[in-house]
Structure 1
């Protein structure tokens, strides 16, 4: 249908404006974590927030108050999970993946690339973006929990303590 009624249009304008403002306030209160690079849990919350906002806007069956409660519940759950995962490593491993080593001392770990569905070209791109021109000059390439790729050049490895929580495939041991 092209047009139902002016009251529906006015409802979308009024509720949309209020829902948008509520979402912005909710995101500001819930903290930077909600807007950080996304791991699987963060992505679910982000998609759910967007879906909830769309439902508030377009469904006259959902009151504004119900929508505000839904947004608040999602933000609160995200906050609780983030709080618990910083204090309980076991919970963190259930909610987020561990970072995975893709290159170890210049050796590309083909098995790790295959398991993580990362192409060698993506690894080369990350190495170039880090300002390194030679794979042999790389101590580690890590697929992070948010899907980004980190590169540690051999000269910047230090004691390697930043790699302690990285999943090391058996082929690199």
Structure 2
């Protein structure tokens, strides 16, 4: 039962050493890969971020994962992220394949029900975004757009008072 709480200093020392080295390498990899890796997340970026976190965790706590193998996995994820974003910038077709396009959800105060249903966005969520921008109701919005990163952009038809 005591092993559940403490299995010896070797495991703790390994976690500390591997944790510091892995963290330092991950920061270096992200720094080399550029600001794009840390930008607002679209669905693809979110998957890569979660995979990086999961890989970091596996390296840190699983003694069966050697440091070199874990760092190779982190490097692979960062290189793949870089390659995909590099290809997206150079090919519109590839970019459309990877990322979703922004979608108009409300125009001139009138909701676009088909777009809202397809994107699973409610009128209450749109109204909340309008209120966050200083509006009071749907009629005060010229447009509401669901951006590629999942945020709602609001253009009010009148300046907020």
Instruction: Work out whether the TM-score is over 0.5.
Output: yes
The structure 2 residue matched to 1:26, chosen from 29, 52, 57, is 29
CA drift at 1:111: 2.1
Quote the Cα distance in structure 1 between the aligned partners of 2:107 and 2:92: 25
Q: How does 1:1-173 map to 2 (within 5 A)?
A: 1-154=4-157
CA drift at 1:5: 2.0
CA drift at 1:132: 2.6
Gaps of 5+ in 1: 157-173
Q: TM (normalized to structure 2)?
A: 0.90
Match of 1:163 in 2: none
Q: Aligned Cα RMSD in Å?
A: 1.5
Return structure 1 stretches of 4+ with deviation > 6 angstroms: none
CA drift at 1:134: 4.2
Count of aligned positions: 156
Gaps of 5+ in 2: none
Deviations for 1:95-119, whole angstroms, at most 9, x for unmatched residues?
1111111001211112211211111
- Matched residue SS, 2:130: helix
